Chains A and B, each alone.
Chain A
C-alpha cells in the first residue's frame, strides 16, 4: 500500500519547517517559507475529513430545511448524498444548500421566533465546528517555537 496524500503533505511540512526554513538567512523569505510549512501542515490534517465533513454538512442542512422551510422534497432530493458524486459536486451542492439555508434563516430573523433562531444558530455552529481550522493555532505556535 502506498503512503496516503496526507502523510506526504505532513512530511513535506515537517521538512519545510524543520529542515529548509532554518537554512535561509533572509528573514522575509524564511518567514514566508515557514508559513507555507504551517499551511501545508493544516492541509494535511484536514485532508482526510474534507469529503465526509462536506457530506455531513449537506445532510444536516437538508434535514434542517425539511423541518424549517416549505422547500419541496423533490427540490431537496437533488442534493441527496450519493456514492458516485465527486467532492466538487458535493461542494456545488453545499453552495446551493447554504444559500437556501441563508434565505430561510433571514426569514426567521425577521420573524424573531426564538426557538427557530436557536435551532438555526445550532446548525451554523455545527457547520462551523466541522470546517474550522483555527483550533490548530496552538499546534502552529508550537511548530514556530
Chain B
C-alpha cells in the first residue's frame, strides 16, 4: 500500500466531511483486477469509527470501465430489495487521489472465491434462494428515469448485438493469437441470435458467486457493478449460471442450488418466463464474454502493462474453462 495514497485519502476525507479524522487501517484487498479496492477504518476526534471501502480506478485494468457507471448502478439500487453498499462520494478526476474513485460504507460480511467448491456450506440453500431471487429483483427493478437516460444513451439495439459486438471487438484487439474454439463460438452466436427482450433491465454485468457479501446464511451486499448496463435480463442469468462458477459441481450453479430450482426462483421473482433457446444463447455468450475478459487480462500481462499475477491466472485457468464450455456447447448443437 502506498503511504502517499493513505495520506491523500485522509486529507481528502477530512476535507469532504469537514472534520478531522485519523487513520486506523488502510488495507488493499487482493483480487478484482478492474479496480484497486481498499478497506479503510478511520476515527474522528470523538473516537467514532467509520468503516469504508474505496474503489480506485487502475492505470491499467482488466476491462476499462468508468467509475460513473458503477456509481450510477449502485445509485439505482439504494434502499431497494437489492442489498448494496451506501454510497458516500465519487470522483472522475485524478486530482484528489491520483485516479478516479468511488467511496462507500463497508457492509458486514465476507466474499468467497468463486472457484472453491462448497464454499457456502452449510448455508448454500438459504444463500442460494437469496442469490437467485435478488437477481430476479434486479431484472424487474424499474430504473429511475434519470439513471435510465444516462445508460440508454450508449445503447444501440438490439441488445444482444450491442453486447456481442462490444466483446468481440475486445477479443480481436487483445488476442495474442487466434483461438479456433472461440472464433467458432462467436460465429455460432451471430448466426443464431436470440429474440429481442421485451423487458429492458439493469444488467449487473458480473453477477456471480464471489461478487456478493454474506454473513452466515444472509446475503448482505451485491458488489462489483462496474460492467452494469441496460439490456436483456437473461444476460445476467446466463452469466450467473455459467459452469465456470461451479466447475467441480456443474449441476449446482454458483455452488448453491440445483439449476432447475434456481431458474424457478428467478422466474417467480422477476415475473419473466424463460425462453430456453434464448437462455442457451446467453449462456454461450457468457463464455465468449468471459474469454474477452481473460484475453484482455493475458494481454495486460504479456505486454507488461500490469503484471499482477491475477492477470496471468485469469488468462490461464478461467480462460481454459470458458473455452471448454464453448466447445461443449458447439458439440451439443451439431
Contacts and interface: CB of A to CB of B under 8 A. Distances in A.
Interface in A17-61: 26-28, 31-32, 35-36, 38-39, 42
A33 B325 CA distance: 30
For A99, A109, A124, which residue has the most chain B Cβ atoms within 10 angstroms? A124
A124 B184 contact: yes
A98 B316 contact: no
A108 B177 CA distance: 21
Given A27-B30, A39-B309, A39-B312, A128 B323 contact: yes
B333 to A, nearest CB: 9
Given A28-B1, A121-B331, A121-B334, A35 B310 contact: yes
Nearest to A123: B180
A28 B316 contact: no
Interface string B172-196: 0000011111011001100100000
A74 interface: no
A105 B327 contact: no
Given A102-B178, A132-B324, A137 B317 contact: yes
Contacts of A117: 334
Contact of A133 (B31, B310, B316): B316
Nearest to A96: B178
A114 interface: yes
* Chain A interface bracket (under 10, 10 to 19, 20 to 34, 35 or more): 35 or more
A87 B188 CA distance: 33
A26 B30 CA distance: 10
Contacts of B155: none
A141 B317 CA distance: 12
A121 B330 contact: yes
B28 A28 contact: yes
Nearest to B184: A105
B322 to A, nearest CB: 10
Contacts of B184: 102, 105-106, 109, 120, 124
Contact of B247 (A35, A39, A137): A137
B30 A31 contact: yes
B1 A39 contact: no
Nearest to B319: A134
Contacts of B324: 128, 132, 134
A131 B316 CA distance: 10
B85 to A, nearest CB: 20
B178 A35 contact: no
A98 B1 CA distance: 43
B115 interface: yes
A26 B1 contact: yes
A90 interface: no
A26 to B, nearest CB: 7
B30 A124 contact: no
Nearest to A106: B187
Given A28-B30, A131-B320, 17 more contacts: A35-B309, A35-B313, A36-B309, A39-B309, A39-B316, A101-B180, A102-B180, A105-B180, A105-B183, A109-B184, A118-B331, A125-B327, A128-B324, A133-B320, A137-B115, A137-B317, A138-B248
Interface of B: 1, 27-31, 115-116, 177-181, 183-184, 187-188, 191, 247-248, 308-310, 312-313, 316-318, 320-321, 323-324, 327, 330-331, 334
17 contacts: A32-B30, A32-B309, A35-B30, A35-B313, A39-B309, A39-B316, A94-B177, A95-B177, A102-B183, A106-B183, A106-B187, A121-B331, A124-B327, A128-B324, A128-B327, A132-B324, A134-B316
